[in-house]
Amino acid sequence: MVTINGKDIHKLVVACDAGMGSSVMLAGTLRKQLGKSHVTVEHTAVRSIPADADMVVCHEGLAARVRSAAPGKPVVPFQIFLGDPAITRVVEAIQQGTDLDV
């Protein structure tokens, strides 16, 4: 397990398999929720995760692929695209500047 402080997350990437659909909606929702923070939210395919990403969120079915594509990056898998507790914890850690265990 890795611990990262919300203050240290500057680029949050929502990784997906194909590049369209629910993950795009999640990225938009995160941009709105984090609009007043210091965080940039990007949406990208698993194969295109940028090297400067501080954290990657993805559907739990993609987590192993994301970890292979972005070794050393904190990965937060989630089960549902909207309202998932894992995503809520990420948003709260960023907004409050608290630690997040991933």
4-60 per-position pLDDT tens digit: 999 999 999 999 986 557 899 999 999 999 999 999 999 999 999 999 999 999 999
- Provide, for the chain, the percentages of residues in helix, strand and coil under a 3-state DSSP scheme, each rounded to the nearest 5: 40, 25, 35
The pLDDT value given to residue 80 = 92
By annotation, the residues acting in catalysis are 16
Q: Which two tokens stand for residue 38?
A: 């210091």
The pLDDT value given to residue 50 = 97
> For 41, phi and psi rounded to 5 degrees?
-110, 125
51-88 per-position pLDDT tens digit: 999 999 999 999 999 999 999 999 999 999 889 999 99
**Domains observed in the chain:** 3-101 (3.40.50.2300)
User: Quick one: pLDDT band at residue 91, thresholds 50, 70, 90?
Assistant: very high
pTM, two decimal places: 0.93
The pLDDT value given to residue 61 = 93
Q: CA-based diameter of the chain, in Å?
A: 32
The pLDDT value given to residue 72 = 93
Residue 92 carries which side chain, given as an amino acid letter?
Answer: E
What is the C-alpha to C-alpha distance for residues 25 and 63, in angstroms, rounded to an integer?
Answer: 19
Using the structure block, give the residue that is written with the tokens 């995160």: 30
